[in-house]
Copies of this chain bind each other. A is one copy, B any other.
Amino acid sequence: MAGSAARGNRRGRPGYDLGRLLDVSVRVFNERGYEGTSMEVLAQRLGITKSAIYYHVSGKDELLRLSVNRALDALFAVLEEEASTTGRAIDRLEHVVRRSIEVLVAELPFVTLLLRVRGNTRVERQALARRREFDLMVSDLVKQAEAEGSIRPDVDPSLTTRLLFGMVNSIIEWYKPSRGLRAEQVADAVTKIAFDGLRTGSPDPS
């Protein structure tokens, strides 16, 4: 739509680096759904031409890949942290849960997009495969915690992982950064509920 003057210099384009392009694209994908967002719509929302988008990425697919990988890379980085790899399994598990919540809050639009991926394209299936890999690594931590006797032995590791991260992931449904609730407070609440339980007094681990 804009003329060549508006498109300006193709190299060193002012205002739109890849990071900002992703920020806006992810917001539009979350609003309209990835399937429901055309390159035309993206260009309109960005206020640039489609060819200006193609300067940065090969297409919508690459925008999705870069976006979900930003969320996935941040989550996998948590698993590499020292507190996730040394010490008792129960403490490593708690660390992974806490830090995942911090990642979720820090990268809210990217994690939201990741959690809505349903596997309709190759990029989406790759994202689902990485999510499963993450779940397996967490599930393995639950198993280790059971083996060391620090977690109740009567819960299934993969069901526990699903429910634990179901609680963590549900945060995207209601968390609003503007309301002043900090990631740390949410992480405190989740770990209190899931690790120590709501009930006062001794739990019955039988």
A163 to chain B: which residues have CB within 8 Å? Answer: 167, 170-171, 189-190, 193
User: With an 8 A cutoff between CB atoms, is A194 at the interface?
Assistant: yes
User: With an 8 A cutoff between CB atoms, is A26 at the interface?
Assistant: no
Interface size counted on chain A using CB atoms at 8 A:
43
Q: Which of B159, B170, B195 contacts A199 (CB 8 A)?
A: B195
* Residue of A189, A199, A203 with highest tally of chain B CB at under 10 A: A199
Number of copies: 2
The reply to whether B160 and A170 contact each other, CB–CB distance below 8 Å, is no
List A residues 118-164 near B (Cβ within 8 Å): 145, 149-152, 154-156, 159-160, 162-164
The reply to whether A196 and B152 contact each other, CB–CB distance below 8 Å, is yes
The reply to whether B166 and A170 contact each other, CB–CB distance below 8 Å, is yes
User: With an 8 A cutoff between CB atoms, is A200 at the interface?
Assistant: yes
Given contacts A154-B192, A159-B189, A166-B166, 17 further A-B pairs with CB under 8 A are A149-B200, A152-B198, A152-B200, A163-B171, A163-B189, A164-B193, A167-B167, A169-B170, A193-B197, A194-B194, A194-B198, A195-B198, A196-B197, A197-B203, A201-B205, A202-B203, A203-B203
